[in-house]
């Protein structure tokens, strides 16, 4: 097994346990108020969702809200998790549109399919796969969305290339993700912080450059939320089988110390981009 596959296996195991347990790895709490405040979901959107969809949410933003999706379009959600964004996107594109979710974690896929069925939607399909090699045809989707997932990939350049590959010419991407600047070495080495969406995060400059190198144009961050120490303290995975935040044994005390050290260096961002065409002189 390669080192990249080992990372994916660790992420899969962590999120499989988490979806059964309930609390979120990437969002400080799973209450409606917190999701509205930190992830940008409206009370109207959440009010139309089953409680199980909200409790299982692992996102750091709302990529659907400002996507300008139209009826009849095809949407791909990378790392679709329990399905909150699948459901919202499906309602935007309507019965003549189509939404595809891709996730690598079996319990997540099962949960998403159950949530989609409970919502009575027939225009959503959830496939098993990794975001570095999407089980999706080239040039087949109008929108790529993703919610706090790309930071978990050990091969982000492959992910960016896959986004460009599956999008139709002039297709668009809107992604909510975690970015980081000047993370200390101990944060990069922590397995708990990696699976908590922090340790694997790259800088905004790297992120945008990676998308541009893959063939995306009009790449920009339109919204940021810089996390303070209190918000960061909740990012550590609540996992008895994994180390606490930063790998220590002092539990909450060390988590607070780590959060204070990382405050201001980590933020969620909403990234927009368009698949370039020959008219843009981008293949």
Residue pLDDT, tens place only, 176-186: 999 999 999 99
3-state SS track over the chain: CCHHHHHHHHHHHHHHHHHHHCCCCCCCCCCHHHHHHHHCCCHHHHHCCCHHHHHCCCCCCCCCCCCCCCCCCEEEEECCCCCHHHHHHHHHHCCCCEEEEEECCHHHHHHHHHHHHHCCCCCEEEEECECCECCCCCCCEEEEEEECCHHHCCCHHHHHHHHHHHEEEEEEEEEEEEEECCCCHHHHHCHHHHHCCCCCCCCHHHHHHHHHHCCEEEEEEEEEEECCHHHHHCCCCCCCCCCCHHHCCCCHHHHHHHHHHHCCCEEEEEEEEEECCHHHCCC
Q: Mean of the pLDDT values across residues 206-217?
A: 97
pLDDT band at 232 (very low <50, low <70, confident <90, very high): confident
Mean pLDDT, the chain, as a whole number? Answer: 83
The predicted structure's pLDDT at residue 46: 56
Q: Is the pTM of this model over 0.85?
A: no
The reported pLDDT for the residue numbered 28 is 37
- The percent of residues in the chain predicted with pLDDT above 90, rounded, is 62
Among 85-94, 102-111, 272-281, whose mean pLDDT is lowest? 272-281
Whether the per-residue pLDDT at 4 is higher than 50: the answer is yes
**pLDDT at position 36 over 80:** no
Q: Domains in the chain, start-ordered, CATH in brackets?
A: 3-177+203-223+270-275 (3.40.50.150)
pLDDT of residue 243: 35
The pLDDT assigned to 41 comes to 54
53 or 90, higher pLDDT: 90
- Model pLDDT, residue 83: 93
Query: 23-27, 28-32, 127-131, 226-230 — which is least confidently predicted?
Result: 28-32
Across the range 41-65, mean pLDDT stands at 58
pLDDT at position 241 over 90 = no
pLDDT in tens, 59-76: 577 777 656 899 999 999
The whole-number pLDDT of residue 125 equals 98
pLDDT at 78 over 50: yes
Closest CA to 148 of 26, 245, 258: 26
């Amino acid at each position: 097994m390669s080192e990249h596959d080992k990372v994916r296996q660790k992420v899969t195991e962590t999120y499989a346990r988490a979806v059964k347990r309930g609390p979120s790895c990437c969002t400080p709490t799973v209450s409606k108020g917190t999701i509205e405040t930190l992830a940008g979901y409206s009370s109207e959107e959440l009010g139309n969702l089953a409680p199980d969809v909200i409790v299982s949410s692992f996102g750091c933003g709302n990529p659907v809200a400002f996507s300008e999706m139209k009826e009849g379009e095809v949407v791909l959600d990378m790392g679709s998790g329990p399905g909150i964004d699948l459901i919202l996107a499906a309602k935007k594109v309507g019965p003549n549109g189509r939404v595809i979710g891709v996730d690598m974690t079996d319990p997540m896929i099962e949960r998403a399919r159950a949530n989609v069925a409970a919502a009575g939607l027939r225009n959503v399909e959830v496939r098993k796969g990794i975001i570095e090699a999407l089980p999706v045809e080239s040039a087949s989707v109008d929108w790529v969305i993703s919610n706090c997932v790309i930071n978990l990939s050990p091969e982000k350049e492959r992910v960016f290339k896959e986004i460009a590959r599956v999008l139709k010419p002039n297709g668009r991407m809107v992604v909510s993700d975690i970015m980081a600047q000047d993370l200390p070495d101990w944060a990069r080495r922590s397995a708990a912080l990696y699976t908590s969406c922090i340790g694997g995060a790259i800088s905004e400059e790297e992120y945008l450059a990676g998308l541009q190198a893959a063939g995306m144009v009009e790449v920009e961050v339109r919204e940021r939320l810089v996390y303070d120490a209190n918000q960061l303290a909740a990012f550590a995975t609540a996992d008895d089988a994994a180390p606490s935040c930063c790998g220590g044994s002092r539990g909450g005390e060390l988590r607070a110390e780590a959060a204070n050290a990382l405050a201001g260096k980590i933020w969620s961002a909403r990234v927009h981009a368009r698949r370039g065409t020959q008219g843009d002189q981008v293949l």
